[in-house]
Structure formats: C-alpha cells, structure tokens
A and B are shown apart, each in its own frame.
Chain A
Amino acid sequence: MSDPYLLLGITPDADDDAVHAAYLAAVKACPPERDARRFESLRAAYEALRTRRARLAQALFDQTPPTLADILDQADPVGAPRRPDREQFNKLLRGEA
C-alpha cells in the first residue's frame, strides 16, 4: 500500500492531531517487534503527513502511481474475517470450483 492516508486509515482532511492519533493507534495495533516492515511503512506514512506543510507537499509531490491494491483499499478496505453464507458453502460442497 503506497498511500499514507490509507495506511494510517485517515481521510485527506485529517489534521495534525488526527494524524498523530492514527499513527499511535496503528503502532499500538502493530508494534515494531511484531512486524518491523509494517512499522517502517507506518513511520514513513506518519512522516509524510505529520504537519500541514508535509501533507501539502505529499499531495503536490508524491508521484507514486496507485496499485490495484490501493484502489481496492480506498474503495473498501479489508475488514475482519467474515463468515460466508450457506449458499457459498453449498457451492463448494457440491464440488464447484
């Protein structure tokens, strides 16, 4: 995921406090000792959005093209595991691929 807003789970109108709070929550949920790479990404996202100046610069200068994953995350982020319905089970039980 390349979009720092998506990574921190905040909207583009987030202010300094919202960015800070989102970063702390994200780090709490995924501390560096559990997933160092994700922590690095979170840190980079935080730095990119930490101040108003940084957020404006991010919007102006970030040239990273979006990936399909970015578009999917923006449209409908992955949530908690969901339970398939009975019909979905039945299809697999009937041997449908």
Chain B
Amino acid sequence: MKKPHKVAAAPKAPTPDDLLTAAQGQIAAGRYREAISTCKDLLKIENRPEWRQTLACAYAGRARELAAKGMTKEALTVWENRTQIAPELPADLDYMTLLLRLGRISQAVALGALAGDRLDPATLTALRSQLAAHHLAGKAEVAAGLAADDPILVQGVAAAQALDAYCAGDDAALGAALAAIPFRSPYRDLAQILKALQRPPAALHEALELLARVDDASGFAPLRRTCESALGPPQTLTERLADAGEATRRFAMTLAGWGEQRQAIWEEARRAGNSEPKTLLRLLHRHRTLLGETWARRQGLRLLVAGFPKSAGWIKDSGGPQLSAEERLLIAAWRAEQNERSGNDLEAWDAYAQHLTKDRLPEPGTDDALRVALVLRRVDSHRDLLPHLVPDDDPFVPTASLAEAVESSLQFDPDDRDSYERLVRFYLRGPDLKSARRLLDLGLARFPADVGLLTAAMDVALAADAHKKAARYAREILALDPINTGARERLVKSHLAHARKQLKARRLDLASKELEQAAEWEPAWDRGGRLRERRVLLSALLELQADAARGASVLRAQVQAMGGGMAAALALALEGAAIGRAAAGLLKTAGLGKAAVADQADLTAVLSRLRTYLDEEAGAELAPELRRLFEKPLSAAARWPLSQPESENACETLRRAALEQARLAFAEAALKRWPDVPIFELHRFEAGLAGRRGNPAAREIDRLAEAGERARESGDQRTAHRIGECLAEYSPFGHFGRSPFFPFDDEDEDEDEDGMGFDPLGGDLNDALRAFIEVVGVDGVLKAAGVGAKERSTFKDIERQLGHETMINVLITMLGNQLPNLLGGLPPGLLPAPGPAPKPSRPGRKPGKTTGRSNAPQTPDDDDPEQFDLF
C-alpha cells in the first residue's frame, strides 16, 4: 500500500517588517524595480505615509536609472508616479532638470515655485542656475513663471550682454557685463566660464581652475564640460568627443580652432564609422578640389600599397580614375620595397625607371632626370647595400644589376659624388680595378678636390701596386687636408712599399729617393716609431746592397737600437722577405743568428709586431722560411707568464701566422694555468692536428666537445660556435655534412629534435636504402663511397658503440643527398627499386650561385657535388 503524499505546508506570508527591510535593501542595492514591487506589496497591507515615501524613493531611483539610459519619457512617467504617491514631498531636482531638458519649462518652473522653501539650499541654487541657463537660452516660459524682480530675470540682462560680448569678441564689453553680475547670482557659473574662455592659451591651467569651480548640478555644467573637452590636448580632441552629441562637438571644435571645412570632413568620416583606407580614399576623392588634385591622388596611391595589387580597384570604387601604368609601377615598387624579403625591389624600381624614360631621356639637371636617378639608385641607398657587397660575391643579391643601376643613375645625375665613391669602393673590393678606375675618372673629373674620391683613388692605385700614383694622390689629399693622418700614413707606407720594389729590382738610387720621401712625410704621431723603424731598416738594407761591410755594421747598429731581441729579428726578417732577401742570412749578418725571446717585453713586442704585419697584409701568411726560423724560439717563449687575455691573443696571432707548433706550446702552457678554458682547448686541438696525418683520436674529439659544451654553458657563444665548426670538420662525418651526433648543430634542431635525423628520404626510399645497406653491408657502402680503411675502422668503432641498427639509420641520414652519386658508383644489380624523389632542399639553404635578376627555380641537382666525395 502506497504511503499518502505529504502535503507541503503553505509558505508563510512575509510580515510588513520583512517587506520593508527587503524594499530598503533593494533600494540600497540599486534594484529599484524589485523595490517598487515590494513597496507595492507593502502598501497593499496598509497605506502608511512612511511606506509611500519608501516607494517614492524607489521611483526616484528608477527614474534616474531610466534617464541615464536615455529613456527620458519612461523616466518622466516614473517621476510623475512618484509625485502621485507622495505629493507631500518636494519635487526632486533631477525631475525638474528632466522637465527642462524635455522642454516642459513651465511645469519645471511651477514645481520649483511649489517646492519653495522645502528645497535644501544646494538644490535650490542648482535649480535656479538651470532656470537661468534656459532663460539665457531664450526660453520665455522661465520669465513667465517668475516674479518680475526675480534675480534670474534682473541679472539675466547682464548675463546676456556678457555672452553677446564674448561671442562678438568685445572683451571690454564682456568685462563690464561680468562686473554687473553679483557673486551670488544664478549666473555666477556662466561668469566663471566666460572668464576661463578669456584666458589666453598659455594660461590653460588658470582657465581649467576657473572651470572646475562650476558644480556638476549647475545649469551651466554642460557648457563647462564642453569647454574642458575643447581645452584639452589637441591631438586627442576627437577621442574626447567620440560619444558627444552634435551640439557639444561643434561647440568644442569651434573653440579648439577647427574651421567649418575641417569640421565637415571630420563629421563625414565619423558618419562612415571608420578610418579605413577605402573611407579615406572616398574622402580624398570627394574633397580633391579643396585638398589639391595632385596631393589627393598621391595620398590615395599610398593607401593602396598594403593591399596591392588587390587594392588597385579601390581607387575606382571611390570615384577616382583608374590607376595609370606609371602609378601601378610606382605602387608595385613601394610594395616590393616594403616586402624586402621578396627580393623584387630592384626589378620593380628598374621597371619604374624604364617607364619614366620610355618616351625620352630627360636632360641631366632637370627634375625628371633627377627623379630617374633617384629611382635607379633607390635600392642601394635605401638598403645601403654597396658598401657591404663584393662584386658577384653573394648569389642572393644581384650585385651586378645593382651596381649597373647605380652607375646608370650617374647618367641622369652626374653630380652625386657619393655614388662615384660607393661604386669605386665596391669595385675595389672585387677587385675589379678596371671598373673602379673608370668610375674614378668620371668622379674626379667632376670633383677633382674631393678628399673622399682622392682617397679612393689612392687606394685603387695601391691595390694596383702603382705606388708613384698613390703617392701623388696622397699629396693631393694632404694639400687639401693637412691633418689627414690616414692619408699621411698611407703615403709613407706607399713610399716604403715603392722603396722595397726598387730595392728588389736593385735600383738603389730610386729606392733611396723613395726612402727620403718617406722620411719627409713621416707623421709625428707615429706611435712606437714603427714606420720610422721600417724606413731605417730599409735604409740599412739598402746600405747592405751598396756596400756589404758598411751595410752590415749599420744593420747591427740598427737592430741593437731596436733592442736586439726577437722583435727586432722579426722586423728585420719581414723587411728582408719583402725585398727578396733570405732571412737566415740577414739575421746572421745583423748578429741575430741565434736570437731568442729575451724577456716578456720582447715576447709582447714580437707578438704585437706579428699582429701588425698580419693586419696590414690581410690574408697573407708568414713566409715558410720565417715560420721555420721563428717557430722554435717562439715555442720556447711560451714559458713566460702572460695574462689570460694575453695568452688568448698570443694563440690567435700564432694561428693567423700558421705558427702551429708555437700555438700548441702557448695553448698547453695556458691550459696548465687555466685548466679547461674552452678557447685554449680549441687552440690545442687545432694546433695539435696541424701537420699530423689522419684524424684526431676519439678522446681528443670528446675533450673538445666537452669544451664546446662548457663554452656554451658559460655564454661564450663565439668559442662554442668555433668549436662546433671545428668538430664538424674533423669528425668522421665531415664529408657527409654535419654528424648526426654533432652536439652543436643549431641548424637542424627544428627539423630533428632527437638528433638521429631519421627518415630523411621519405618512407619508400628509406626502406629501399635500408634494404640496400643490409645487402651490401655498412662496410660495403663505405667502400663503394671510396672511404679509406682507417676511416672505415672509425665507423666500425661507432657501430660497436651504437649498434648495427643505429649505424644503418646514421648512414641513411648521412647519405640523403649523396644517394644519386653513390648509387651511380655501384655495380649493376645492387640498385634498389626506384622510389619517390628525394625531398627538396629546405628553405633557407643556399641554392647554386645565381647572378642577375633571374628568379628561375634551381634544379635539384644544382646543389649536389659532381662526385661522391667522402674523404
């Protein structure tokens, strides 16, 4: 038997106290609609006056809420409900303000009169200022509802005069009218505002202080707020007016100095709702007469760049004529320039220049010619390319076309000296001395006294071993710029070089003359007297050629004056080598046959001298004879205690001089003092391998790899990178490219997180290659590739360490790009079935060298070597 359902007890009806508390809470929380409902429930119980006033309070809240939302009519109804439910309460200021806003002036005036003394003073003041504002604005109902002697009417005359005087710009009349408005006048706030507006722009702070005195409840508050908007920063005026109505906007813009046309165009843009390119294009076209046809059109073109070529139609959509061919080419060039990575800018500007000259070549000196010249050299001037390029050095930059364009620009604008110098320096780097001279001749013909061009001319002459010519240019430079230290030094060096040339040719009189001239131009600042030293040594060598006995004596005296140590010996040996004299004999003659590094100062001096030589003779190595002579004494000098930076410098200098034995000695000495310093590990590794046959031992590679890791951890990226490069070269995988075990290979990190680089060829080919290696064997593959026995044994060691499977994977990875060549070298029948084509090179890998403007895609074979070159 089912249990009967329990009958729920009826909810207990709320008591009046509950309802009152709830209503008061809802009012406090701003939930006026609920409060109104609760109060109505309460009044159904009993119509108590205090409960009616609670309902009136809820009505007032709701009315303000609706008014704030712009629902003025609904708000007015609610205010009227409030009046009906509690007629004993005085009219609320917000109710009267709303009535005034809605034009129900008489009603507001009547309510104000009715409320009379029951209003608190602040509310009364605010109400009267509102009535005053409406009276001033010409609302006759205000006057009709007030006594003839009411101050609103009496003082309204002076207020109106003040306002008229301000609008008319009559400051004297304004001052007089403002003086007639008493302090406690309902027009007091207007007086403050007009006084603020009279302040000059420089007294902005004072003006804002005056405006701040106007209360928010005042009838003049909207005027105050508008003035404040107008006086704010001009750049953000429109932002401040974004939500303002038309009356406020117009007033503020006028006050801020905006003319009618400016306001009208802004209003038009505002109606469009945005400042997108299409909107601006329409404005430009509609107001082109006012803006200027040319200006409007050119600005319109600039609006099309970002979306070009799709945007080409916008200009027609906006009402303007279609783009001309010239405009299209110009926008295309702008677009190409903005998208530098496309590499099309040179081509795009060239097309534009061709268009500018297609009908006729403009006369140099005209604006048209200058325009063409500027366009032709745009890519170089914009990207500053020529100073960083060598002719035909970089396959990614069409250097020849670039230089050609700049050179062509001189045809139209031959007065651009910078272009001459840039081109000369560019060709000099080639070196393409013929082109450099051609440009120099043109440039110097126009700018014969230009120090920059003369310096370039001197450098070209020096590069061509034309020392006499170089000296002539140097003299010209110094005549124009006597304190040009660089030219003076170059001139001395040029004379010394020429003297060496003459000595070598045994033309002693000419050599002597050159040395005299070198002495004449020797700069006073020659620190350490290196130039002087060289000249004196050359003089001594000249003496030696002229008279062996006397020359030997002079030479000995000179090297003694230079300290007689290893530094002097090196200086003499270098000068001797430069004139073709055997260094060993010379040193013997000079009494330096068994020279050793005398002390630490001598060591520092010899390294410094060596460094200077290597710097000046960029790219030159120390002659083999000098290496043989200096290797041992310098190795022995490694015992001198240098500081760590000095030791680093010493190793680096010895590396550049190819004095590997000495470098090894210095690196080992440094490692004894500062164990595990990565840079010295690198020097020891490299110097230790120099001259040794075969590859380094695995422990040497490990030690260097650890040093690289330490360098990376300590933030020494440069050393880490150098070690990485070194490991790549010396690792058994060097000829396959990077080793899959290589720990510093940044380039492949993205593609191959686990370092094994597996599946490099795609599934099918991978499988085929795997099957092939299984059949032929690892050793067989390496043999077929021409790998020597010793290297194959290294691979076997690796296979033992990593396992056969991993070894196969490693081989597949390494053989990726070499596959076609490798297969070509195998006997027929061992080839796997053809699989899919290998993956193309990844973006960013340099394609084969290209020149000119060709953008033709490279064939896959372009990157591959001719032969499978392993070891």
1/0 per residue B121-144: CB within 8 Å of A? 000000000000110111100000
Report the bound CA distance from A91 to B133 in whole Å.
Answer: 10
1/0 per residue A15-57: CB within 8 Å of B? 0000000000000000000000000000000000000110011
1/0 per residue B513-554: CB within 8 Å of A? 000000000000000000000000000000000000000000
The answer to the question of A14 belonging to the interface, with a C-beta cut-off of 8 Å to chain B, is no
Contact of A76 among B136, B137, B262, B292 (CB under 8 A): B262
Report the bound CA distance from A92 to B197 in whole Å.
Answer: 15
List residues of B (287-328) whose CB comes within 8 Å of A's CBs: 287, 290-292, 294-295, 298-299, 302-303, 305-306
Contact of B164 among A65, A71, A86, A92 (CB under 8 A): A86
List residues of A (56-75) whose CB comes within 8 Å of B's CBs: 56-57, 59-68, 70-72, 74-75
Give, as a whole number of angstroms, the nearest-CB distance from A83 to chain B: 6
Q: Once the chains bind, are B167 and A86 in contact (CB under 8 Å)?
A: yes
Q: Once the chains bind, are B139 and A72 in contact (CB under 8 Å)?
A: no
The answer to the question of B195 belonging to the interface, with a C-beta cut-off of 8 Å to chain A, is no
Report the bound CA distance from A53 to B169 in whole Å.
Answer: 47
Give, as a whole number of angstroms, the nearest-CB distance from B328 to chain A: 15
Using Cβ atoms and an 8 Å threshold, which residues of chain B touch A56?
367, 370-371, 374
Using Cβ atoms and an 8 Å threshold, which residues of chain A touch B234?
78
The answer to the question of B255 belonging to the interface, with a C-beta cut-off of 8 Å to chain A, is yes
List residues of B (155-187) whose CB comes within 8 Å of A's CBs: 163-164, 166-167, 169
Count the A residues whose beta carbon is within 8 Å of the partner chain — how many?
41
1/0 per residue B554-598: CB within 8 Å of A? 000000000000000000000000000000000000000000000
Using Cβ atoms and an 8 Å threshold, which residues of chain A touch B163?
86, 89
Are A92 and B262 also in contact (CB < 8 A) when A52-B370, A79-B257 are?
A: no
Q: Once the chains bind, are A75 and B247 in contact (CB under 8 Å)?
A: no
Are A71 and B280 also in contact (CB < 8 A) when A88-B254, A90-B137 are?
A: yes
Q: Once the chains bind, are B257 and A80 in contact (CB under 8 Å)?
A: yes
Q: Once the chains bind, are B223 and A60 in contact (CB under 8 Å)?
A: no
Using Cβ atoms and an 8 Å threshold, which residues of chain A touch B459?
none
Give, as a whole number of angstroms, the nearest-CB distance from A67 to chain B: 7
Q: Once the chains bind, are B250 and A83 in contact (CB under 8 Å)?
A: no
Are A93 and B134 also in contact (CB < 8 A) when A68-B266, A84-B251 are?
A: yes
Are A78 and B222 also in contact (CB < 8 A) when A60-B371, A63-B305, A68-B280 are?
A: no
Q: Once the chains bind, are A93 and B382 in contact (CB under 8 Å)?
A: no
Report the bound CA distance from A67 to B277 in whole Å.
Answer: 9
Give, as a whole number of angstroms, the nearest-CB distance from B384 to chain A: 14
Q: Once the chains bind, are B222 and A95 in contact (CB under 8 Å)?
A: yes
Q: Once the chains bind, are A71 and B247 in contact (CB under 8 Å)?
A: no
Are A57 and B374 also in contact (CB < 8 A) when A93-B133, A93-B220 are?
A: yes
1/0 per residue B647-661: CB within 8 Å of A? 000000000000000
Residue of B nearest to A94 (CB): B137
Using Cβ atoms and an 8 Å threshold, which residues of chain B touch A71?
265, 280, 283-284, 287, 291, 299
Q: Once the chains bind, are A97 and B244 in contact (CB under 8 Å)?
A: yes
Give, as a whole number of angstroms, the nearest-CB distance from B766 to chain A: 49
Residue of A nearest to B291 (CB): A74
Contact of A88 among B197, B250, B375 (CB under 8 A): B250
Contact of B166 among A74, A83, A95 (CB under 8 A): A83
Task: Name the interface size band of chain B.
Answer: 35 or more
Give, as a whole number of angstroms, the nearest-CB distance from A7 to chain B: 13
List residues of B (246-287) whose CB comes within 8 Å of A's CBs: 247-248, 250-251, 254-262, 265-266, 269, 275, 277, 280, 283-284, 287
Are A72 and B265 also in contact (CB < 8 A) when A86-B167, A93-B220, A97-B248 are?
A: yes
Q: Once the chains bind, are A81 and B201 in contact (CB under 8 Å)?
A: yes
Using Cβ atoms and an 8 Å threshold, which residues of chain A touch B220?
93
Report the bound CA distance from A72 to B270 in whole Å.
Answer: 13
Residue of B nearest to A73 (CB): B262
Residue of B nearest to A67 (CB): B275
Using Cβ atoms and an 8 Å threshold, which residues of chain B touch A89?
137, 163, 167, 223, 251
The answer to the question of B101 belonging to the interface, with a C-beta cut-off of 8 Å to chain A, is yes
Report the bound CA distance from A57 to B295 in whole Å.
Answer: 15
Contact of A82 among B136, B254, B291 (CB under 8 A): B254
Using Cβ atoms and an 8 Å threshold, which residues of chain B touch A97?
222, 244-245, 247-248
Using Cβ atoms and an 8 Å threshold, which residues of chain A touch B226?
92
Report the bound CA distance from A97 to B299 in whole Å.
Answer: 35
Interface centre among A63, A67, A85, A90 (most CB of B within 10 A): A63
Using Cβ atoms and an 8 Å threshold, which residues of chain B touch A79?
257, 259
Report the bound CA distance from A33 to B298 in whole Å.
Answer: 35
Interface centre among B260, B265, B295, B371 (most CB of A within 10 A): B295
The answer to the question of B100 belonging to the interface, with a C-beta cut-off of 8 Å to chain A, is yes
Using Cβ atoms and an 8 Å threshold, which residues of chain A touch B266?
68, 72
Report the bound CA distance from A24 to B774 in whole Å.
Answer: 84
Using Cβ atoms and an 8 Å threshold, which residues of chain A touch B298?
59
Report the bound CA distance from A80 to B265 in whole Å.
Answer: 19
List residues of B (206-265) whose CB comes within 8 Å of A's CBs: 219-220, 222-223, 226, 230, 234, 244-245, 247-248, 250-251, 254-262, 265
Give, as a whole number of angstroms, the nearest-CB distance from A39 to chain B: 16
Give, as a whole number of angstroms, the nearest-CB distance from B363 to chain A: 15
Report the bound CA distance from A79 to B256 in whole Å.
Answer: 8
Q: Once the chains bind, are A74 and B292 in contact (CB under 8 Å)?
A: yes
Q: Once the chains bind, are B137 and A81 in contact (CB under 8 Å)?
A: no
The answer to the question of B82 belonging to the interface, with a C-beta cut-off of 8 Å to chain A, is no
Are A93 and B367 also in contact (CB < 8 A) when A57-B374, A83-B255 are?
A: no
Using Cβ atoms and an 8 Å threshold, which residues of chain B touch A12?
294-295
Q: Once the chains bind, are B137 and A70 in contact (CB under 8 Å)?
A: no
Using Cβ atoms and an 8 Å threshold, which residues of chain A touch B280?
65-68, 71
Give, as a whole number of angstroms, the nearest-CB distance from A42 to chain B: 15
Interface centre among B139, B269, B299, B375 (most CB of A within 10 A): B299
The answer to the question of B378 belonging to the interface, with a C-beta cut-off of 8 Å to chain A, is yes
List residues of B (352-376) whose CB comes within 8 Å of A's CBs: 367, 370-371, 374-375
Q: Once the chains bind, are A63 and B337 in contact (CB under 8 Å)?
A: yes
Q: Once the chains bind, are A81 and B255 in contact (CB under 8 Å)?
A: yes
Give, as a whole number of angstroms, the nearest-CB distance from B539 to chain A: 52
Report the bound CA distance from A93 to B162 in whole Å.
Answer: 14
Using Cβ atoms and an 8 Å threshold, which residues of chain B touch A72?
262, 265-266
Give, as a whole number of angstroms, the nearest-CB distance from B530 to chain A: 43
Give, as a whole number of angstroms, the nearest-CB distance from A15 to chain B: 12
Contact of B134 among A53, A60, A62, A94 (CB under 8 A): A94
The answer to the question of B685 belonging to the interface, with a C-beta cut-off of 8 Å to chain A, is no
17 contacts between A and B (CB under 8 A): A59-B298, A60-B330, A61-B334, A65-B299, A66-B284, A76-B258, A78-B256, A78-B257, A82-B254, A82-B255, A83-B169, A90-B136, A94-B133, A95-B97, A95-B101, A97-B245, A97-B247
Given A57-B374, A62-B302, A88-B250, 5 new contacts (CB under 8 A): A60-B371, A71-B280, A71-B291, A89-B251, A93-B223
Q: 3 closest Cβ contacts across the A-B interface? A: A97-B245, A76-B262, A93-B137
| B residues neighboring A (CB under 8 Å) | 97, 100-101, 133-134, 136-139, 163-164, 166-167, 169, 197, 201, 219-220, 222-223, 226, 230, 234, 244-245, 247-248, 250-251, 254-262, 265-266, 269, 275, 277, 280, 283-284, 287, 290-292, 294-295, 298-299, 302-303, 305-306, 330, 334, 337-338, 367, 370-371, 374-375, 378, 382
